[in-house]
Amino acid sequence: MTVTLIWIAVALIAVGLYLSWTAGRLDRLHTRIDAARAALDAQLLRRASVAQELATSNVLDPAASIVLYEAAHAARQSEEDQREVAESELSQALRAVFADADQVEAVREAPGGESAAEELAQAVRRVPMARRFHNDAVRAARALRRHRKVRLFRLAGHAPFPMAFEMDDEPPAALADRPGS
């Protein structure tokens, strides 16, 4: 009888440790999502700021400046539920304005344009990477949260179900393919 109780106690402790480890893993994944989302937000803000700065620098033609400025402004001011759409529209505006390599060269030839073009090129390359890191963390957390033991024992607590950030983040070819960048 005593041996049976000891084995039951050992089994309960083992299950408790396993559940505790799983809850800790889930908590670390949620922390990773928060950090990745902060990095994504920083990269999106940087991209919008650089685009807005370039639009107001009088380097682009007036029509391109207006299109780029309005898209960048909308991306910076959008509410959370409209953010993916606004950021996608900024990506589309960047591709429209910089569809031609001659436009990038015109920016580079303007005073201060070389650094502005390089900064924009870096910003548009970093956004897809930051989004990929965020969505990978979300995918991992979702996979763990789908396990029956996580749902049964409510190991996720009150944390909201993680949502991926889906947007059009394809960079303009003329900026993404710059040599030496």
| This model's pTM is above 0.75 | yes
Query: pLDDT per residue over 13-32, tens digit each?
Result: 999 999 999 999 999 999 99
Distance CA 70, CA 92 (A): 12
Query: pLDDT per residue over 60-103, tens digit each?
Result: 999 999 999 999 999 999 999 999 999 999 999 999 999 988 88
Distance CA 75, CA 90 (A): 7
Distance CA 39, CA 7 (A): 48
Contact yes or no for 100/174 (Cβ under 8 A): yes
Distance CA 133, CA 153 (A): 28
Token code pair at residue 177: 């393919």
State the DSSP code for 99: S
